[in-house]
Amino acid sequence: MHLRLKHFLYSILFIISIAFGSKLYAQEYNPIPVAVPSLEIAPDARGGGMGDIGAATMPDVYSQYWNAAKYPFVSSSAGLAVSYTPWLSKLVSDINLVYVSGFWKFGNENLNALSASLRYFSIGEFNIFDSNSDYIMPVSPSEWAFDVAYSRRLSETFSAAVTLRYIRADYSVGDDEIVPGNAFAADIAGYNESYVYLGRSEALLGFGFNISNIGTKISYDEGTTSMFLPTNLKLGASLGLPLDDKNTLSFSVDINKLLVPTPQLPVEGETEADKQKRIDDYYNMSPIVGIFKSLGDAPGGFKEEMQEIMWSVGAEYTYNNQFSLRTGYYNENEYKGNRRYMSFGAGFRTNFMQIDAAYLVSTAQSNPLDQTLRVSLGFSLDGLRQLMR
Residues linked to residue 153 through DSSP beta bridges, in sequence order: 159
Q: Sort 119 into a burial class: Cβ within 10 Å, 0-12 / 13-18 / 19+.
A: buried
Q: Which of the 8 DSSP states describes residue 73? A: G
Structural contact between residues 236 and 254, judged by C-beta atoms closer than 8 angstroms: yes
- 377 CB-near residues (< 8 Å, 6+ apart): 81, 82, 83, 353, 354, 355, 356
95: containing domain: 3-388
Q: Sort 130 into a burial class: Cβ within 10 Å, 0-12 / 13-18 / 19+.
A: exposed
In angstroms, the CA 93 to CA 91 distance is 7
pLDDT in tens, the chain (389 residues): 344 444 445 445 545 554 554 444 444 677 888 989 889 989 999 999 999 999 999 999 999 999 999 999 998 999 999 999 888 766 667 788 999 999 999 988 889 999 999 999 988 766 665 556 665 556 678 899 999 999 999 999 999 999 999 999 887 665 556 778 899 999 999 999 999 988 778 899 999 999 999 999 998 777 677 889 999 999 999 999 999 889 999 999 999 999 999 988 787 777 888 888 888 888 889 999 999 999 988 888 899 899 999 999 999 999 999 999 999 999 999 888 888 999 999 999 998 899 999 999 988 776 667 788 899 999 998 887 877 77
Cα-trace Rg, the chain: 22
What is the SS3 assignment for 279? helix
Closest CA to 130 of 221, 220, 2, 1: 2
CATH number of the CATH domain containing 155: 2.40.160.40
From the CB of residue 248, how many other CB atoms can be counted at a distance below 10 Å? 20
Closest CA to 290 of 192, 213, 344, 345: 213
How far CA 328 is from CA of 85, 218, 302, 311, in Å, comes to 18, 33, 28, 11
Cα 337 from chain centre: 15
Q: Is the pTM of this model over 0.85?
A: yes
What is the SS3 assignment for 246? coil
Beta-strand ranges (E) seen in the chain are 78-86, 95-106, 112-123, 126-129, 135-139, 142-153, 158-170, 181-198, 201-215, 218-219, 226-227, 232-242, 247-258, 309-319, 323-331, 340-349, 353-362, 373-380
Structural contact between residues 35 and 25, judged by C-beta atoms closer than 8 angstroms: no
From the CB of residue 138, how many other CB atoms can be counted at a distance below 10 Å? 10
Residue 213 zone, left/alpha/beta (φ > 0; ψ -120 to 50; rest): left
- Count of domains in the chain? 1
